[in-house]
């Protein structure tokens, strides 16, 4: 039920000088693929299955004619669209039989630094699956007893057998097609919320006891909604806010460690955007939607057929709203915080940075921890004219770096 897209991630290392580094990366990738066997297969659109045919993963190497510490990579001049060159394939290059499920591009900089860009089809992988794969590969490359620390599990079909249900799509490919065929230009920018900024905002909210993630998402949502109102000259608009929720540890019983697949559900909030919403109301809207969804997750495995329908109905409801409501303002807020990206040590230390790149899914934001783990990087994607308003909005301009 996931959209036709690849999940992207880029991991940066400051010093990977080693004459055997590329060979070790390639060999260790080959060694762990049997454990992650669906990633070496191909997607079959007609049956919506992965053909585990050992066709293989794509492995590329590239030389980058600049230093890793160049201002356009790790500095203030970084532009997400330039980082796309470090990725092995396009965002929407998925679902055809010749499209690899997993693609990797190893980028070597003039200074000895390295950036590993990888893409995994969303048909078989959510961000938790991608993290499991990344750290398993790093352990295999590092060796010295770490090779078998992570054992992936692909048994979700036991809990969610295939159903003859209508094909569902979330509509993200439409934004890709709009951009390719003359639609509005879509841009991505990164905004950093430091620990100090988050604590400062939280201190001004007397009754707030929620997470830093919902606080940052609430700030972004508030500006998104205000931009939508301005575009409609202050008229009321309808907004659908979607937050993907990983339900692995929220079912009863919880799923096994390192369960792979798309084990997520949408926490959806539907509202009339008819006034300037206060930050606390936006934050409460998000946290309440997640809280209600987590309560539903507890029923998924112990309610038989009805449990499985919780997932199917969640996607059905969202897709129906997306396609039948012409004036609907759909917003996706996705948190990748607390995922162990910065634990991926291939043998030359932990990453100096983890990034996304430019995304074609407008009205969206993906949140990732800063390296220190106490701040948040928000990768925000909007139409170009809306981004000009967003980055100059007082709540964003004064809070972020």
One domain for residues 198 and 274: yes
- Considering only CA atoms, give the Rg of the chain: 21
One domain for residues 132 and 249: no
One domain for residues 297 and 198: yes
User: For residue 387, is pLDDT > 60?
Assistant: yes
The band of 367, judged by pLDDT with boundaries at 50, 70 and 90, is very high
Give the helix ranges, DSSP H, for 63-165: 80-83, 127-142, 156-159
Look at residue 215 and give its three-state secondary structure: helix
C-alpha distances out from residue 118 to 69, 200, 236, 318, 357, Å: 21, 36, 41, 29, 11
Give the β-pairing of 364-369 and 328-335: parallel
Q: Would you state the torsion angle of the CA atoms of residues 376, 340, 269, 221, taken in this order, to the nearest 10 degrees?
A: 10
Which stretch, 167-181, 193-207, 369-383, has highest mean pLDDT? 369-383
The residue ranges of DSSP E strands in 32-181, in sequence order, are: 42-44, 49-51, 58-64, 102-109, 114-121
For the sheet with 264-273, list strands across it.
Answer: 186-193, 376-383, 364-369, 328-335, 237-246, 264-273
Residue 11 has what pLDDT? 97
Residue 21 has what pLDDT? 72
Q: What is the mean pLDDT of the chain?
A: 88
- What is the Cβ-side half-sphere exposure of residue 386, based on CA atoms within 13 angstroms? 23
Whether 351 maps to a domain, the answer reads no
One domain for residues 109 and 154: yes
The band of 324, judged by pLDDT with boundaries at 50, 70 and 90, is confident
One domain for residues 102 and 146: yes
Total count of domains within the chain: 2
CB 136 within 8 A of CB 35: yes
Dist. CA 151–CA 135, nearest whole Å = 11
pLDDT digits (tens, 9 = 90+) for 373-383: 999 999 999 99
Residue 3 has what pLDDT? 80
Higher pLDDT, 35 or 164: 35
Whether 45 maps to a domain, the answer reads yes
CATH of the domain at 56: 3.30.559.10
Q: Residue 327, Cβ neighbours under 10 Å: how many?
A: 10
* Mean pLDDT within 48-70: 92
Last residue within a domain, chosen from 125, 159, 193: 159
Last residue within a domain, chosen from 124, 159, 194: 159
Range name among 198-212, 252-266, 317-331 with the lowest pLDDT average = 317-331
CB 287 within 8 A of CB 267: no
One domain for residues 124 and 268: no
pLDDT digits (tens, 9 = 90+) for 130-157: 999 999 999 999 887 777 789 999 988 8
Give the helix ranges, DSSP H, for 247-334: 279-297, 304-324
One domain for residues 122 and 200: no
The band of 63, judged by pLDDT with boundaries at 50, 70 and 90, is very high
Range name among 23-32, 100-109, 207-216 with the lowest pLDDT average = 207-216
Q: Is 294 exposed, middle or buried (0-12, 13-18, 19+ CB in 10 A)?
A: middle
User: Which phi and psi (to 5°) does residue 239 adopt?
Assistant: -120, 140
| Beta bridge pairs of residue 49 | 44
Whether 130 maps to a domain, the answer reads yes
Whether 1 maps to a domain, the answer reads no
Tell me which residue range forms the domain holding 330.
182-338+359-397
pLDDT digits (tens, 9 = 90+) for 256-313: 889 999 999 999 998 887 776 888 889 999 999 999 999 999 999 887 777 788 888 8
Last residue within a domain, chosen from 159, 193, 212: 159
User: For residue 127, is pLDDT > 90?
Assistant: yes
One domain for residues 306 and 384: yes
Whether 393 maps to a domain, the answer reads yes
One domain for residues 56 and 123: yes
The band of 19, judged by pLDDT with boundaries at 50, 70 and 90, is low
One domain for residues 39 and 152: yes
DSSP 399: T
Whether 174 maps to a domain, the answer reads no
Taking the CA atoms of 30, 20, 341 and 63 in sequence, report the sign of the dihedral they define: negative
Residue 237 has what pLDDT? 78
One domain for residues 92 and 131: yes
Residue 174 has what pLDDT? 41
pLDDT digits (tens, 9 = 90+) for 212-266: 999 999 999 999 999 998 887 767 778 999 999 999 999 999 998 899 999 999 9
Whether 268 maps to a domain, the answer reads yes
Residue 120 has what pLDDT? 96
Residue 83 has what pLDDT? 95
In the chain, what percentage of residues exceed pLDDT 70?
A: 93
One domain for residues 10 and 127: yes
Residue 247 has what pLDDT? 95
Whether 266 maps to a domain, the answer reads yes
């Amino acid at each position: 039920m996931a959209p036709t897209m690849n999940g992207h991630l880029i991991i940066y290392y400051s010093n990977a000088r080693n004459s055997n580094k590329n060979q070790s990366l390639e060999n260790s990738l080959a060694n762990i693929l049997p454990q992650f066997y669906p990633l070496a297969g191909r997607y079959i659109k007609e049956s919506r299955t992965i053909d585990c045919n050992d066709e293989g993963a794509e492995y590329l190497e590239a030389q980058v004619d600049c230093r890793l510490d160049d201002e356009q990579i790790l500095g203030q001049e970084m532009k997400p669209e330039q980082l796309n060159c470090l990725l092995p394939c396009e965002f929407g290059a998925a679902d055809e039989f010749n499209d690899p499920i997993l693609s990797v591009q190893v980028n070597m900089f003039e200074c000895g630094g390295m950036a590993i860009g990888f893409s995994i089809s969303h048909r078989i992988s959510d961000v938790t699956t991608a993290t499991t794969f990344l750290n398993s590969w790093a352990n295999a490359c590092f060796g010295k007893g770490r090779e078998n620390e992570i054992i992936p599990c692909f048994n979700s079909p036991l809990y969610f057998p295939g159903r003859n249900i209508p094909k569902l799509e979330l509509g993200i490919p439409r934004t890709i097609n709009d951009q390719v065929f003359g639609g509005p230009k879509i841009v991505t920018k990164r905004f950093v919320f430091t620990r100090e900024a988050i604590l400062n905002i939280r201190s001004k909210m007397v009754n707030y006891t929620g997470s830093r993630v919902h606080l940052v998402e609430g700030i972004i949502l508030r500006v998104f909604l205000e931009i939508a109102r301005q575009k409609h000259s202050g008229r009321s608009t309808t907004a659908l806010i979607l937050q993907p929720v990983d339900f692995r540890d929220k079912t009863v019983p919880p799923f096994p460690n390192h369960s792979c697949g798309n084990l997520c559900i949408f926490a959806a909030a539907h509202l009339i955007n008819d006034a300037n919403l206060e930050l606390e109301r936006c934050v409460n809207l998000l946290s309440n939607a997640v809280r209600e969804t987590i309560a539903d997750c507890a029923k998924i495995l112990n309610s038989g057929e009805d449990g499985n329908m919780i997932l199917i109905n969640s996607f059905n409801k969202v897709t129906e709203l997306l396609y039948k409501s012409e004036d609907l303002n759909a917003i996706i807020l996705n948190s990748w915080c607390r995922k162990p990206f910065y634990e991926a040590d291939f043998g030359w230390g932990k990453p100096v940075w983890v990034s996304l790149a430019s995304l074609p899914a407008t009205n969206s934001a993906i949140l990732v921890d800063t390296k220190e783990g106490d701040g948040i990087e928000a990768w925000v994607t909007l139409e170009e004219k809306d981004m000009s308003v967003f980055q100059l909005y007082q709540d964003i301009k004064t809070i972020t770096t």
